[in-house]
Amino acid sequence: MAGTAPTKTAAEKTGAHTDEAAALIDGARTRIDALDDRIIGLVQERMAVSAVIQEARITSGGRRINLSREMEILGQYRDALGKPGTSLAMTLLELCRGRA
């Protein structure tokens, strides 16, 4: 059929050179996809909890953001994951700050 790409083998889809490696990679990718779904759900949950905290802080006369708390979080991620952990934490904090 014109315009139809041929079906790729498992090895071609994964970049592996053996069927055994392709099967291992395929299974691991399925697990990663499931982990990513869980991570996204946890981030969304974190965003909701953060919104509750911000609302309570603002209605009590405080600021929307607590910079000392954010520094604690940055340190925690850096300690656990190294320098890239700081970037990850910054992204999470940005997502959880909500709209100003």
C-alpha pair distances (Å), 34 with each of 27, 39, 53, 87, 90: 11, 9, 29, 23, 24
* The pLDDT of residue 98: 77
Would you state the pLDDT for residue 12? 76
Query: For residue 22, is pLDDT > 60?
Result: yes
What is the value of pTM for the model shown? Answer: 0.81
pLDDT of residue 2: 59
How many other CB atoms are there within 10 angstroms of residue 90's CB atom? Answer: 14
Q: Which residue has the tokens 């490696």?
A: 21
Q: What is the mean pLDDT of residues 20-32?
A: 94
Residues 60-66: what's their mean pLDDT? 93
Mean residue pLDDT of the chain comes to 91
CA–CA distance, 52 with 58 (Å, rounded to integer):
10
